[in-house]
Amino acid sequence: MEDLLLFSKTKNCMKIISGILILITAFLSFKHGWTAITNNASQQEAEMFTRIGITRPLSLITGILSFSVGVMVLFPKTFFIGNVVNAVLILLIMALSLKAGNMKTL
């Protein structure tokens, strides 16, 4: 009986941790998306985007995709595809940095 109670507590703890991580992921996606959409990037971020070849239209597209990731992660049916889109965006930035020869960005 004690094992079942311990399992139940562990399961509830994992649900809480999972919920917190989902909220952090959604917050960061909204933050990055909003920054890209409103063109509120810091000077350092703007220089990095210029060096790796991300133009304003591409920045707007990545901002919209990042913002949509924040929404998709919040719903169970779109959670997986939201994380896939997020991974593709990260890989895109990494690939553009490698193409530009910018190892410091990675």
For CA atoms 27, 33, 37, 40, give the dihedral sign: positive
Q: What's the domain range around 82?
A: 2-99
Classify residue 87: in a domain, yes or no.
yes
Q: Is the pLDDT of residue 7 over 80?
A: no
Domains in the chain, number: 1
41-83 pLDDT, tens per residue? Answer: 778 877 888 888 888 888 899 899 999 999 999 999 999 999 9
Which pair of structure tokens corresponds to residue 38?
């409103």
Alpha carbons 16 and 25: distance in angstroms, whole number: 14
Classify residue 35: in a domain, yes or no.
yes
Alpha carbons 77 and 89: distance in angstroms, whole number: 20
Classify residue 106: in a domain, yes or no.
no
Classify residue 105: in a domain, yes or no.
no
- Enumerate residues 6+ apart whose C-beta is below 8 A from 78: 71, 72
Which pair of structure tokens corresponds to residue 75?
């719903």
pTM (2 decimals)?
0.78
DSSP state of 77: G
